[in-house]
Structure 1
Amino acid sequence: MDLTEHFFFNLSLLIVLMFFCVLWAERSNNLKFIQNVAILYFVVSFFLCIVFSYPIHDGFLFDLKNIPIMISGLYMGLGPFLGVLTICIKAFYGINSSFWVTFTLYGVISITLWRLYPLFIKLSPNQRILFSMGLTFLFSLIQTVLEFIHLPYPKYDLYFAVLFIQPLGVGMIAYFIEEITKSILLRKHLLNTKRLEAVEQMGASISHEIRNPLTAATGFVQLLQSENISMESRSQYLSIIKKELKSAERVIQDYLTFSKTEDFLTETIYVHDEIKQAIQSLQLTAKKKSIEIITHFSNDLAIIGDKQKFHQCLINIIKNGMEAMPKGGTLTIETETTSSMVSILIKDTGIGMTPEQLNRLGEPYYSTKGKKGTGLGLMVVYSIIRSMNGTVHVDSELNSGTTFKFTFPSIPDHLEQIEILENENKYVLS
């Protein structure tokens, strides 16, 4: 059993070598690089088998080079190259009858593998494994008849090594190749799916954010078509339309919602002014839905951030609150301040949310509106708030309404100059 043990050791080396080649190839997603690693593996395996050849009788050497020849020939079309290399190595030992047997045998193997390669690739993975093992067994049987049958060596050990270990080695390596190929294809498919999902998510998110200012602009355009509108109102509506269209244009040109904090603008935002502008943009929607908007402003507050994106955030939350009150209701907007923090509370008297819905707020593509929502509006809001070093806290009860509380760091210098404007200020839109 010396030959069998020697070949099992040689086969284990081929498998270990494949393991390290797979680790090396996995560092790159470049298909050409992976192919080059595979070629290198088969060439090194071929010479490794030559080095670990086993002397059977009177200088006659036997090895497992058929394994890399068969696998590389069927999977990569390298059969003719390694077959010619085998013939050249045999020629170094002299041109004799044994050489001509090797020349004939490996010449036939090379031509056969060259012709079978295009057909072999079209087979299914399981068929390729079985076919490669069967073809290896066939050539091993022919090799036994031509070269080994007359050698004075223990037949059981010789036949077991030739007719079992070689097909077994080919089957094992073929199985590993199929699994590695499947893994590479799955990873590539996953990467493509993630890229496509990112593009779809960005497209849907941009569409969602553009829809808000365009909806407001469309409403005021409809008002401008009225014949009884005053010049003062016309000028006011045109100013609002211009601002909303600029907001939509900026979303298209500079969509940085998911960028890092340092990529956002840092400008002074006067909170009450932005809230009033957001209410003014949505006053037509509130009127149509019979929603009363009430504000409770504490002080003249200021924070640091991106004014356009903060406006975008307010529009999203106020609009969501309105949509949660299909039969009308009250939307209350309050502001609170401490020595270091500014808080904005937006409360509605709508349908509310269950604890499960509340826990999933901000997840991509999750919406409490069913098919009418994209699930991206709140994700955008959460991203904007985080970019401004703020926090979001949501309280909600089913059929009792929802409260969004946004907290931001205040501007210390501004707090020293603030004046109390009014304790309560109401905007009633009917």
Structure 2
Amino acid sequence: DLLCQQVNRCKQILKEMVQKVEQAQSQQLSLMTPQALITQVLDKFLLLRPSITVIHNIEQSDSQFYLASDATLEQAIINLLNNAADASPHHFSITLTQSTHKIQIDIADRGIGLPPEMMALVGQKSLSTKGEQGMGIGLLLANATLARLGGEIHFVNRVGGGVTASVLLPVHSSIK
């Protein structure tokens, strides 16, 4: 039953990806709340990796903020979630905070962290900590997607082990 559900979800994701690539090619972005984006991304991620526990803290806001989103943004965040899950296979955390001008999404794993020489290159060139298992382009593509949307990403080694990936994206206070 779970396998059938995952296969059907994969088919749906592929169909959505084709549609969203066509949308992205025509430069169409949709506006959505940060909370809706994170919920949607987590739903997709957990269907693909149901054994992972994601500890999440999604800040709710009285004000309604929107961000520009498309399939590439969702995929960029899913890439970061996959990296956290690979580094910390039992659980990791995701936290959403927002201010008047930006949102911040922190994805914190409990892995071994990144060596300083890799930390300086993350997101700037293709590199992987996964050996032959990874191609090293996920972070490069995530960085390019965030830059295209006016955002950025930062990585910090955590005290006690692991890495926090912080995604910053601009928000809009209303739909225009």
> What TM-score do the two structures reach when normalised by structure 2?
0.82
Structure 2 residue 16 is the aligned partner of structure 1 residue 247: yes
The counterpart of 1:268, out of the listed 7, 10, 31, is: 31
Structure 2 residue 58 is the aligned partner of structure 1 residue 278: no
Equivalence for 1:306: 69
Structure 2 residue 85 is the aligned partner of structure 1 residue 322: yes
CA 1:297–1:393: 2 relative to 1, 3 Å: same
Pairwise CA distance, 1:246: 1.9
Aligned length: 173
Structure of greater relative contact order (alpha carbons < 8 Å, 6+ residues apart): 2
CA 1:255–1:305: 2 relative to 1, 3 Å: closer
Name stretches of at least 5 consecutive residues in structure 2 with no aligned partner.
none
Name stretches of at least 5 consecutive residues in structure 1 with no aligned partner.
1-219, 225-233, 257-262, 415-430
Pairwise CA distance, 1:242: 4.8
Per-residue Cα deviation, 1:32-83 (whole angstroms, up to 9, x for no partner): xxxxxxxxxxxxxxxxxxxxxxxxxxxxxxxxxxxxxxxxxxxxxxxxxxxx
Inter-partner Cα distance in structure 2 for 1:378 and 1:371: 16
The counterpart of 2:124, out of the listed 343, 363, 378, is: 363
Question: Matched residue of 2:66: which SS?
Answer: strand
Inter-partner Cα distance in structure 1 for 2:173 and 2:139: 29
Pairwise CA distance, 1:307: 2.2
Equivalence for 2:169: 408
Q: Which has the higher strand share?
A: 2
Pairwise CA distance, 1:392: 1.1
Inter-partner Cα distance in structure 2 for 1:330 and 1:311: 20
What value does the CA root-mean-square deviation take over the aligned residues? Answer: 2.9
Inter-partner Cα distance in structure 2 for 1:314 and 1:272: 13
Which has the higher Rg, Structure 1 or Structure 2? 1
Q: Which has the higher helix share?
A: 1
Per-residue Cα deviation, 1:191-220 (whole angstroms, up to 9, x for no partner): xxxxxxxxxxxxxxxxxxxxxxxxxxxxx8
Pairwise CA distance, 1:410: 1.4
Inter-partner Cα distance in structure 1 for 2:110 and 2:60: 25
Detail structure 1 runs of 4+ shifted over 6 Å in the superposition.
Answer: none
Structure 2 residue 148 is the aligned partner of structure 1 residue 379: no
Equivalence for 1:396: 157
Inter-partner Cα distance in structure 1 for 2:107 and 2:168: 12
Summarize the alignment of residues 38-187 of structure 1 with structure 2, pairs less than 5 Å apart. none
